[in-house]
Amino acid sequence: MRTQSTAHVESKRAEVVVDGDAIELRYLAAGPAEANESPIVLLHGIGLDAAGVSWKHLLPQLGREHAVLAPDLPGHGESDAPDIAYTTDYYRDTLQAFLASLDVESVRLVGISMGGALALGHALDGGQVEGLVLVDSYGLGRDAPWRPGGYGLLRVPGFDQFLSAGFRLNPAAVAGSLASLTVATSPEFVADVQRTVTPNSLQALARWQRDEFRASGLRTCYRDRLGELDIPTLLVHGREDPIFPVAWSERAAKRIPTARCEVIEQCGHWPPRERPEKFNRVVSEFL
């Protein structure tokens, strides 16, 4: 993406305590030191993602005027990868611990996919959130057509090892996976994911999915609580997202009193990387 100017992005580390265990998180930071507003915290998705993937273009643009923080969640990027059962609750606890470690109370949250569910859950359960951006967000529906098949695969013995070996031994598997999730997949995007994905992140993906994809449907769904939100909320969704239907965000925008929905055409599950110029403009104007 081309912009007139972007902010310098720093890589930093924070030690947090989650479920009684100390872990080290890497996070990216940008923005003027004198910024006196609530920082913007960017939350990536599960598995093939990390702070430097989804937010590669948005972070330095927002950092021109705002304080911005983007952590690598445990098991992803350069953060620690404890051998645990990764769950949405665990990642929500990680978000709270991360903010506490930096003495941050009030925030503006931007979350994509699973990161959207973390942001939404934090806002609904008492977090001091001044603005919310949900991008192709998880947590807005109770089920999806692919869930029964995914539920079955996750219970095949050795599936985790098969998944990890497939990506590790065949780099083209990353490109194939992204092609199934997106409409516009640039070579740069593929290369960024190939550099980022690790056995740890794939293990975190499989364990999280195993907890979330239940025989009766998806575990985390905030659909019936959306009316409780009283903060400015923007929902962004790729029209052709094959994972979470655009109808989820359109319905959520009607249920949240202070929300609007922006649908990006010719775009799949990853608007920040598929349509970065449009996505950055929409999010920057909202924030």
Total count of domains within the chain: 1
Q: Are strands 259-264 and 233-238 parallel, antiparallel or unpaired?
A: parallel
| Exposure letters 252-279 (e unless 16+ CB within 10 A, then b) | bbebbeebebbbbeebbbbbbbbbbebb
Entry pTM: 0.93
Query: Looking at the domain assignment, is residue 6 inside a domain?
Result: no
Query: Looking at the domain assignment, is residue 93 inside a domain?
Result: yes
Please provide the size of the chain in residues: 287
pLDDT, residue 258, reads: 93
Please report, as a single letter, which amino acid is at residue 203.
Q
Residue of 165 and 25 predicted with greater confidence: 25
* CATH code, domain with 89: 3.40.50.1820
Write the DSSP assignment of 195-222 as a string of letters: HH--HHHHHHHHHHHHHHEETTEES---
What is the arrangement of strands in the sheet containing 10-18, beginning at the earlier edge strand?
A: 10-18, 21-30, 68-71, 40-43, 107-112, 129-135, 233-238, 259-264
Query: Looking at the domain assignment, is residue 1 inside a domain?
Result: no
Query: Looking at the domain assignment, is residue 154 inside a domain?
Result: yes
Q: Does the pLDDT of residue 195 top 60, yes or no?
A: yes
What are the residue ranges of helices labelled H in the chain? 51-54, 58-62, 88-101, 114-124, 147-153, 159-169, 172-181, 187-196, 199-212, 246-255, 271-274, 276-286
Residue of 85 and 161 predicted with greater confidence: 85
pLDDT 10s digits, 37-81: 899 999 999 999 999 999 999 999 999 999 999 999 999 999 999
pLDDT 10s digits, 240-271: 999 999 999 999 999 999 999 999 999 999 99
Query: Looking at the domain assignment, is residue 149 inside a domain?
Result: yes
Measured CA to CA, the distance from residue 251 to residue 156 in angstroms comes to 34
- CA end-to-end distance (rounded Å), the chain: 20
Query: What letter would DSSP give residue 73?
Result: P
Query: Looking at the domain assignment, is residue 3 inside a domain?
Result: no
Q: Does the pLDDT of residue 34 top 90, yes or no?
A: no
246 contacts 136 by C-beta, under 8 angstroms: no
